[in-house]
Structure 1
Amino acid sequence: MKIAFYGSSILSAYWNGAATYYRGMLRALSAKGYDITFYEPDVYDRQKNRDIDPPDWCKVVVYEGTVEALKQVAAEARHADIVIKASGVGFEDDLLLEQVLSHASPHALRIFWDVDAPATLAELRANSEHPLRKALETIDLVLTYGGGEPVIAAYLAMGAHDCIPIYNALDPSTHFPVEPNPRFAGDLGFLGNRLPDREARVEEFFLVPAIRTPKQRFLLGGSGWGDKVMATNVSYLGHVGTADHNAFNNTPKAVLNISRESMAEIGFSPATRVFEAAGAGACLITDYWEGIPQFFLPDQEILVARDGKDVSQIMAELTPERAKQIGAAALERVLREHTYAHRAEDADRVFRSAQRRQVEAAE
């Protein structure tokens, strides 16, 4: 089956947190026999900051950030059996949705794939005339990469025919244990760009614990933190390329996941970073959010902190031996249950079920 997928970027992870998810999902779907074309706009300097070459498991079409180019690629939807418009494409999202839906074949499965459900739902609640809200009645299926029952209920209440989470996961071919890198030697590492919806939580869960534990070395990677006041035991690394993520994850004694506030509130939203760190065999400390045990066992496969004091206490008590045990257990769990091959099985089952319903409805 042919998939036309319209998203932000698969070639560049530059200010594009969905890249890892797209890559893992589409590679795994390709392995199941899907013929995929991914359409991405040339915006936000992403093409100047590519971190992968065009893959052999997916055709990639990069189009100019113009309305004319958008309409040209949207017209290609007519050739697909499954047409997918993702959230947060980054250029004329509403127009792209309208164009893609209008060009899709009457027999095609129409999907909206939400890679930031809290943000999307906030927009829909604020505007009853939002184009997506109106389009839900013609969209066959909403998929999300997190959110669980709260997100499902919200979408159904707004008129979606169905909403199913296809969670983030691990691509073992890109995230795996590697030799430690002295550049990332330390006690606790955090990797994440500076975002308004995350900054206060980074202060609470990372920067304040660094002040409380001055004898430990903290590593901060990501863009936008250069002018942030930090304790002297925090080493700011700036942007850390994807090629270095495995070493960043498994070199420090532990690494920290800090959810955006909206993701933490809605729960059941493990970030790609959670699975990437587990895939590298890292001892991961995560801030608390509802649904953690669905993915990892607290205190055995992952450590959970409800606030900065918890982070400080965990770091004070965590030995290198226990950190290695937790990292090994997380790696075993993620390979057993949370790879993109597992998620592709879920997506394939969802696609085929939705297509059967289409056929039955037409009879």
Structure 2
Amino acid sequence: MDNTKLKIAFFGSSIVSAYWNGAATYYRGIVKALGNMGHEVTFYEPDIYERQKHRDIEDPEYCRVVVYPDDEVTLRALLREASEADVIIKASGVGAFDELLEFEVSQLKKETNLIIFWDVDAPATLDRIEKDRNDPFNDLIPKYDLVLTYGGGQPVIDAYEKNGAKKCIPIYNALDTDTHFPVEPQEKFMGDLVFLGNRLPDREQRVEEFFIKPAQNLPDKKFLLGGSGWDDKPLPENIKYLGHVYTRDHNAFNCTPMAVLNISRDSMAKYGFSPATRVFEAAGAAACIITDHWKGIETFFEPNEEILVVKNGEELEKILGELTPERAREIGEAAYKKVLAAHTYEHRAALLEEVISRRLFGEEKTIDNH
């Protein structure tokens, strides 16, 4: 694909706002890398959930952003525009008219284009269609040329292909080196352990297990909690609640404390091979990361050398009680070296380009899913 520049239409939740939108930095990293390769990307996003009032960025130079009102007439006009693209992508969780988009994009297939369903929450989608075989999406899966996923590894690949996907390939989260990097610490983020995540039903119990209870049992340690929705959650006195932490503060949030905690949602932990975007962002800031255990961690980082892994709250309490600033720096620096060497969005976009070239042009290349 050295001389082939593609026109790509991408329907997703939002690329300009991370407000109630955990996929924002993932979209930014992938789309920016594609733009830097010379591909022409248009990102279509609905004006919902007050995201436009809580933008993190202005319209970026690396893609054209189309923010559309929450109405079907406008959306159908944009679908007609998108039908002229070489690659048409419908992401999961757009948040408005998802079923309509899933169907209509599946109908845009031509001999000369590629239609892709990009699942940014494959565990949730797979659980949904397994529970309801009458879900309309079951019949649409085989119509897409490709299913790409935010994570999930072989379990998700097997599940999608069992449900009729022609091909399922994970395009994992990664580090955007332009936006996430080491910075000077900030006093407001000083602490022993921090966690950043919105309050979601399928993660709250794990937050209690891996963060809130350890805080109760380690009253001499200082904990910081960032993310939306925790306002009315009872918290021990040594947890400072920060509310929504804007993207511009993520580097300081990751660089300042002794350690940064990653807690998977239930569905992500179930399928494994699903590192959150914030794992790579924290590694890009040379943070010492402590994560709950999930299958496939070693695919991305070496446990005990580049990341610390705990299976329950008691293990976290033990590790945090023994962790020194010197040891934390060693682990953070090792994670930083690994993420730069293997887990940037340039790495992910290069894989995506190979995937597309094989499907559109029949170019034979070896594709490494990891």
TM-score when scaled to structure 1? 0.97
Checking the alignment, whether the CA contact within 8 Å between 2:105 and 2:115 is kept in structure 1 is no
Distance of 2:248 and 2:16 partners within structure 1: 14
Task: Show the counterpart of 2:49.
Answer: 44
2:347 alignment counterpart: 342
Partner amino acid, structure 2, of 1:226: D
Are 1:61 and 2:66 matched, yes or no? Answer: yes
- Matched residues in 2 for 1:246 and 1:137: separation? 41
Distance in structure 2 (CA, Å) of the matches to 1:129 and 1:30: 38
After the TM superposition, list the runs of 4 or more consecutive aligned residues in structure 1 that deviate by more than 3 angstroms.
Answer: 103-106
1:131 CA displacement: 2.5
- Structure 1 SS opposite 2:19: coil
The one-letter amino acid of 2:224's match is L
- The 5 A counterparts of 1:286-297 are 286-297=291-302
Give the 3-state SS of the residue equivalent to 1:270 in structure 2. coil
**Residue 196 of structure 2, aligned match among 174, 191, 194:** 191
1:272 to 277, 283, 298: 277
Amino acid at match of 1:312: E
- 1:190-339 aligned at under 5 Å gives the runs 190-339=195-344
How many residues are aligned here? Answer: 359
- Residue identity (%): 59
* Per-residue deviation, 1:357: 4.5
Corresponding residue SS for 2:143: coil
Partner residue in 2 for 1:9? 14
Secondary structure of the 1:84 match is strand
Q: Answer whether contact 2:108 2:115 (CA < 8 A) is retained.
A: no
CA distance in 2, matches of 1:131, 1:30: 33
Q: Cα offset for 1:53?
A: 0.4
Shift of 1:117: 0.3
The CA distance in 2 between the partners of 1:81 and 1:129, in whole Å, is: 31
Give the structure 2 partner of residue 143 of structure 1.
148
SS in 2 for 1:37: strand
Q: SS of 1:136's equivalent? A: helix
With normalisation by structure 2, the TM-score equals 0.95
On the 8 A contact 1:210/1:218 being kept in 2, the answer is yes
Shift of 1:128: 2.1
Deviation at 1:77, TM superposition (A): 1.9
Q: Write out per-residue CA displacement over residues 149-179 of structure 1, whole angstroms, 9 at most, x where no aligned residue.
A: 1100001011110000010000000000000
Deviations, residues 236-286 of structure 1 (Å, cap 9, x unaligned)? 111111110110111000010000011011100000010000001100000
Indicate the residue corresponding to 2:366 in structure 1: none
Structure 2: which amino acid aligns with 1:296? F
Deviations 1:270-317, CA, capped at 9 Å, x for gaps: 000100000011000000000001000011100001000011001100
Q: Does 1:27 align with 2:35?
A: no
